[in-house]
Amino acid sequence: MPLWGQRLPDEEIASLEAQLRASLTPVEARDDFVEAIQERLQTARPLYVPVSRTWRQSWLIFSALSGSLLLLTAVTTLLFMRRGKAAS
Amino acid sequence: MSDTPTAELSDAEALARARAGDKEAFGILYQRYVQRIYSYIYYRVGHPQEAEDLTARVFYRTMQHIHRYEDRGLPFSAYLYRIAHNLVANWHRDQSRRKEIALDDTAWNPPAANGPLPEHRLIHAEEEAQLLNAIRRLPPDRQELLILKFVERLSNAEIGQILGRSEGAIKSLYHRTLIALRAELTAQNASQD
């Protein structure tokens, strides 16, 4: 049955609202659950890692990696040049 | 930072401290809202254990993302309800994927229905279960509206803030919800006769 455009009489609205008010009452969580989660939240890892720290860490990793790569390239080039000279 | 004792902090002050990494301030926000979020989730899923699990996840997620929280003039509860709404939606999606749920598990478990009940209370409990099951058959946004309105006792304007709709849209959705609920209850009664 299409419901679009239907209207409920005021007394039906009032009766439904009364039923909803009586049935939909707040439900309380168990105290031990609430306390356990509170404790776990207090002992969890830090809430916030400063952005500057994460940037600094990323920069250090990037520098170390690119430095190693540069060193490796330099050593390889040097070895090739030495071998070339020895061959000639 | 001010020297206000943590327990007396306003939501905005507690939030500011929590965003800076103060766990005690986050604990205050948790204590203020845990029951409301649990109640909301309980009515959306109908199982105390699932409600506990999802409530815990709401607060873990909030804690993880609190440093990114932006104050857009909405109450902090709107942010929590939004996270709860998303987690409940995911939960329902997972449940519909897992088709092995027993039929009994999908029925509503009223909070205080233990032990034998006198006849008038038994009738009331049956009516209540009927109403709650009818609510659960409504689309999620309508269920959410009824829970926020009757369990959380929020105004249409506050519900609009949480659901991202105007007050007028909420008013109209509410009326359509009541019509749909009436139709569900009539259908239930007809199937029982």
Among all chains, which residue has been given the structure tokens 């809202």? B33
Q: Is residue A87 one of the residues assigned to a domain?
A: yes
Residue of A nearest to B112 (CA): A27
Whether residues B45 and B82 fall in one domain: yes
For residue A53, give every residue at least 6 positions away whose Cβ sits within 8 Å of its Cβ, in sequence order, or none: none
ipTM, interface predicted TM-score of the complex: 0.73
- Domain end among B106, B124, B142: B106
- What range defines the domain where residue A82 resides? 51-88
Opening angle at CA B128, ends A34 and B155, nearest 5: 65
Please list, in sequence order, all residues whose beta carbon lies within 8 angstroms of the beta carbon of residue B107, skipping any fewer than 6 positions away.
B46, B129, B133
Tally of domains within chain B: 2
Number of domains in chain A: 1
Domain limits at B21? 9-106
Q: Are residues B129 and B63 in the same domain?
A: no
Q: Are residues B80 and B135 in the same domain?
A: no
Cβ distance B55 to A37 less than 8 Å, yes or no, reads yes
Specify the CATH number for the domain of residue B182.
Answer: 1.10.10.10
pLDDT in tens, B158-169: 899 888 899 999
Q: Is residue A45 part of a domain?
A: no
Would you say residue A64 lies in a domain?
yes
Please report whether residue A62 resides in a domain: yes
Nearest Cα of chain B lies from the Cα of A63 at a distance, in angstroms, of: 28
- Secondary structure, 3-state, B21-85: CCHHHHHHHHHHHHHHHHHHHHHHHCCHHHHHHHHHHHHHHHHHHHHHCCCCCCCHHHHHHHHHH
Burial class (CB in 10 A: 0-12, 13-18, 19+), B157: exposed
Give pLDDT tens digits for A19-35.
Answer: 999 888 889 999 999 99
Alpha-carbon span B138 to B144, nearest angstrom: 10
Give the residue on B whose Cα is nearest the Cα of A35. B31
Residues of chain A numbered 28-87 and touching chain B (CB < 8 Å): 28-30, 33-34, 37-38, 40-42, 44, 46-48
Give Cα A53 to chain centroid, integer Å.
Answer: 17
A65 lies in some domain: yes
pLDDT digits (tens, 9 = 90+) for B66-117: 888 887 778 888 899 989 999 998 998 888 776 544 434 445 555 554 445 5
- Same domain (yes/no): B24, B81: yes
Whole-number Å distance between alpha carbons of B7 and B148: 26
Same domain, B97 and B122: no
